[in-house]
Structure 1
């Protein structure tokens, strides 16, 4: 049996709009200004700010720890923050270890209560057509590239890289090494020029860990609008914040960082996982998300 969420104040990045949502199971089957159905139970959400649940990047998840420590980490770093999907990345040193390391990480995350994606992090020297083909085979959603030497960027055969990425086109994501932090602006400028001139599928800035990933980036990863969305056809994963005058003009990132005390409900794939201070950790409810096609949705 479905239900209707009426008068939802939906915050999407910086824009606040009012809509009503018809929910059936784990899917939003209608989104309109008003939904007139008398046979469905109705919930008035006017006293809340509603956001899609967040997707966070976290490359430091403790994989070699006890179940209790893992559970504590998941609750504190994801569920209490309104996150129902996370992205992590594993370091790869040799092509031959790619598939085994991904399988090992999936196994270690078997008790995850929220969905997850596994990306890979490599040194620039490993960015070859051969390695990219292996990443395409196992549907790696993104390849993080450690940049240590700016001059090395110019030595990569970017035409071959673009051809190897096609047609799957998983994006390349820059990581500026500690040695280059003082030159971060110049490094990102060079990265952007090379990516845009070479028409390389890529993210043009470093991704910040532990804060909501933007819709633009999620789309490039092939996650949007399946995740972090309250559109027709999306899964039912959302947060409810107690509405107050001081948060009516706050964007999603500001809400996440500075008003977490107002987060009172989190729903994950149609199930309430947080109500007030009560958090439900359900081992194994999370699934490994296999991306089909990055950037398939036109923003």
Structure 2
């Protein structure tokens, strides 16, 4: 179904958006000549759907997980979930991803899956396998600079040349703040020296940055609201000082209503990334 909604842009201008099926078809500031129904949303404010990271997805589909974790995140405006499948070896990548997909079979929100691995398991073989399955990022843990230096980054860079998945550090669990910040700085220097695509740390059950979305290829399909993106948005009361989602819409379909706590189980689908870094970085020349 084609319809029109009115939403404020980043420049605080009122714009009209044409929603056609799952996607935002077009945007226009001012009048719009389109044969479509315009939704009466005078009592509501329209906000772009958010992308959250959540690492606590159980191995099997769990009603309690959806009732607690997912519903709480949707109450904060989440329309897309990013999570990780844990693996230690390259030959386990496919089975780990399949197991996590099965656990997310009832998800009302769309989702994207990365890989979680200790730094000792970062090998060219693991990267090649992740590239083969179009995994957008690897989240890895380390405890000291020596852990980072033991990784064969030159070989990993060559194995990662075509798809360019992103490496995300996860130093929060094993290091105090001062040591963690120092290691993060050393990691950034190393990644820049070795031409390794990287992104900063992110916290569990928090919104992901636009930088991460651009580098991993989720943008411009997710985390934004313009022509060609998915029609992901939520409505909050216009008179409320808080952006509390009353209704959440994913790919043009209502999936969550706060008043009665309803959400559309099983509507979410995996967002497959065709190519990472289309907006986040440029591929270096291969030598």
Structure 2 length-normalised TM: 0.88
Q: How does 1:44-63 map to 2 (within 5 A)?
A: 44-45=40-41, 47-63=43-59
The one-character-per-residue Cα deviations of 1:3-30 (angstroms, maximum 9, x if unpaired) are 2213x224x5xx6442111111222111
- Alignment match, 1:254: none
Instruction: Give structure 1 stretches of 5+ with no counterpart.
Output: 248-258
Alignment match of 2:114 (pick from 94, 116, 119):
119
1:183 maps to 2:165 = no
Instruction: Give structure 2 stretches of 5+ with no counterpart.
Output: 282-287
The 3-state SS of whatever aligns with 1:112 is: coil
Structure 1 contact 80–279 (Cα < 8 Å) conserved: no
- Alignment match, 2:277: 295
Alignment match of 2:132 (pick from 131, 137, 142):
137
Alignment match of 1:106 (pick from 101, 106, 113):
101
Alignment match of 2:215 (pick from 205, 209, 220):
220
Structure 1 contact 63–70 (Cα < 8 Å) conserved: no
Relative distance call for 1:215 and 1:45 in structure 2 (3 A) is: farther
- Alignment match, 1:32: 28
CA–CA separation in structure 2 for the residues paired with 1:233 and 1:114 = 19
Relative distance call for 1:198 and 1:46 in structure 2 (3 A) is: farther
For the aligned residue pairs, the C-alpha RMSD in angstroms reads 2.2
CA–CA separation in structure 2 for the residues paired with 1:241 and 1:195 = 41
Relative distance call for 1:179 and 1:24 in structure 2 (3 A) is: closer
Alignment match of 1:88 (pick from 50, 61, 83):
83
The one-character-per-residue Cα deviations of 1:146-197 (angstroms, maximum 9, x if unpaired) are 0112222123232222111111001000011544224011111101111112
- 1:80 deviates by 2.4
Structure 2 contact 61–106 (Cα < 8 Å) conserved: no
The 3-state SS of whatever aligns with 1:289 is: coil
**Number of residue pairs aligned between Structure 1 and Structure 2:** 280
Q: Bigger shift: 17-26 or 31-40? A: 31-40
- Alignment match, 2:229: 234
CA–CA separation in structure 2 for the residues paired with 1:32 and 1:241 = 22
Alignment match of 1:193 (pick from 173, 189, 192):
189
CA–CA separation in structure 2 for the residues paired with 1:168 and 1:242 = 42
Structure 1 length-normalised TM: 0.85
- Alignment match, 1:78: 73
Structure 2 contact 18–24 (Cα < 8 Å) conserved: yes
Structure 1 contact 237–268 (Cα < 8 Å) conserved: yes
Structure 2 contact 214–277 (Cα < 8 Å) conserved: yes
Higher helix share: 1
Alignment match of 1:271 (pick from 253, 258, 266):
253
The 3-state SS of whatever aligns with 2:17 is: strand
The 3-state SS of whatever aligns with 1:39 is: coil
Relative distance call for 1:126 and 1:65 in structure 2 (3 A) is: same
CA–CA separation in structure 2 for the residues paired with 1:109 and 1:75 = 11
